[in-house]
Structure formats: C-alpha cells, structure tokens
Amino acid sequence: MTEPLLQLSGVHTHIGPYHILHGVDFAVPAGELTMLLGRNGAGKTTTLRTIMGLWQASSGRIRFDGSDITTRSTPDIARAGIAYVPEAMGIFTDLTVRENIVLAARSGPVDKSRLDWILGLFPALKRFWNLPAGNLSGGQKQMLAIARAISEPRRLLLIDEPTKGLAPVMVRSMIEAFRALKASGETILLVEQNFYAASALGDNVVVMDDGRIVHSGTMSDLVADKDMQQRLLGLSLDAHQ
C-alpha cells in the first residue's frame, strides 16, 4: 500500500487556553475526494487550519507528500502544494477578480488553457473579470475562492464549507464543479455540513465529533447505512432532501 498524500496522526491543537483537537488521525488518499463531516464545533475548521499551519499543532504529526509539515510555516506549506479555501473565503474585495486569480498563481502568468478550463467551471466569473471582487455575491465569491485555489496545479485542495449559505441552485452548480475537479484527478479534502452535497461527491468520509475522529470509511458504506448516519450525524439523507 502506498503512503496517502496527507496523513494526520495524533494531532492535538490548542487555541489559547482551549484544547480543540484531541488526537486527530486520518488520511487523505491521492486522487480522491475525502469529506470531513461533523456538527458545528466538532473541530473541522481547526483541523484544516492546523494542516495549513495557521494554528500550530501542540503535538502529533502531519505528513504531506512524504515529508513532515507539522511545524512548517503557512507559506511553506502552501508552497509544498496545498491550496486552502477558508470558510470566510478570504477574497480580497479591493482587488479585481482577475487580480485575485493572478495573485494566487505564484509562478507567473496563469496558463491560458487552464484559465479557460477554470472559467468554464465558473462562467459567472468572466462577467466580473475586471471588477473589484467586493461586488460579487456570496456564491460568486465562493466560485472565485475555488477558482483561485486551482489557478495553478496543486497537490491538495482544502475547502471549508463551500455550500454554506448558498441557494439550492448554487449548491447544485458547486457540486458539478467539484465533480469536474474530481474527474481531472485533483485530491480534495472537503469540509461539509450539507450531507446531501457530501454524499453526492465523496469517495471517502471522515466524521469528527468533539475534536476527535469518530468514523472513517467510504462514502458508499455510510450512504447505505441509515443507522450509522443517524448515530454519527444525527440526521438522515431523507431529512435533508
């Protein structure tokens, strides 16, 4: 068995006086989409921020692509090939849509065919190309945040709740975009509260509660097992539809 692209083992994170992560272990296999589920406050966002180095793990190991990134700085982790889309999206509202994307492509001008592919995924962005990103609506900002993350090929995408607060029609087009990303071979770790969206996309699923991993397995197993859904997530697929 080959080593997974990302591997967390026994990760603890403290924020100020609060102990948030209590020994998180899970793996993200290359080329697959892994969903990170769990209720509010379970520690999903903290997990992503710890991987990104925005909060420092107080103990445990994070390995990425064969090397230890636990104590590296955020820019170094990004340079190792991880792109991060925070829950608040982190759009630079004062910059235009174009400038947001240009900035994300560290190595120089964005490849033309790649740009066409991205704008194919998110056609709305084309119309706002030279306008300050602050003018975008919430859903469009989310598209821009993801477009920015994939402006150059990356090894791993960390995406925090991309469907939060979006209208159903936007959720559907977001799911389409993730399908396309998956098809192009990207490795994605996606935090989701929306189980409908999650079940439509995930290869693997990791469920967190209270700063710990309480379940990991394949998405198809979880979708098939209503009892497990009820137990782990306190909701069912039907209830959410």
Partner 1 sequence: MSDMAAQSSAPAELPRAKTDWLPLLLVPALGLLALPFVGSPSTWVTLTVAGLAMGMMIFLMASGLTLVFGLMDIINFGHGVFISLGAYATLLVLGPLGSWALSDSIGLNLALLGLCILVAMAVTALAGAVFERVIVRPVYGSHLKQILVTMGGLIVTEQLIHAIWGASPIPIPLPQSLRGAFVLGDIVMERYRVIAVVIGLVVFLGMQLILNRTRIGLLIRAGVENPEMVEALGYRIRRLFVSVFIAGSALAGLGGVMWAFYRQTLTAGMGMEVMVLVFIVIIIGGLGSVGGCFVGSILVALVANYVGFIEPKLALISNILVMALVLVWRPQGLFPVARR
Catalog residues that contact partner 1 under the rule CB under 8 A.
52, 54, 73-75, 78-79, 84, 86, 88, 90, 92-95, 99, 102-104, 106, 124, 127-128, 131-132, 134-135, 137-139, 148, 165-167, 169-170, 173
- Which of 99, 209 has the CB closer to partner 1? 99
- Which of 112, 127 has the CB closer to partner 1? 127
- Which of 6, 205 has the CB closer to partner 1? 6
Shortest distance, CB of residue 71 to partner 1, whole angstroms? 15
Distance CA 124, CA 136 (A): 10
Shortest distance, CB of residue 200 to partner 1, whole angstroms? 19
Shortest distance, CB of residue 139 to partner 1, whole angstroms? 5
- Please, how many CA atoms are within 13 Å of residue 11, restricted to the half-sphere of its CB? 32
Side chain identity at 97, as an amino acid letter? Answer: V
- Which of 105, 214 has the CB closer to partner 1? 105
- Which of 30, 102 has the CB closer to partner 1? 102
Shortest distance, CB of residue 179 to partner 1, whole angstroms? 18
* Tokens 């490849």, located at residue: 111
Shortest distance, CB of residue 157 to partner 1, whole angstroms? 12
* Tokens 């920015």, located at residue: 148
Distance CA 105, CA 103 (A): 5
Distance CA 89, CA 159 (A): 9
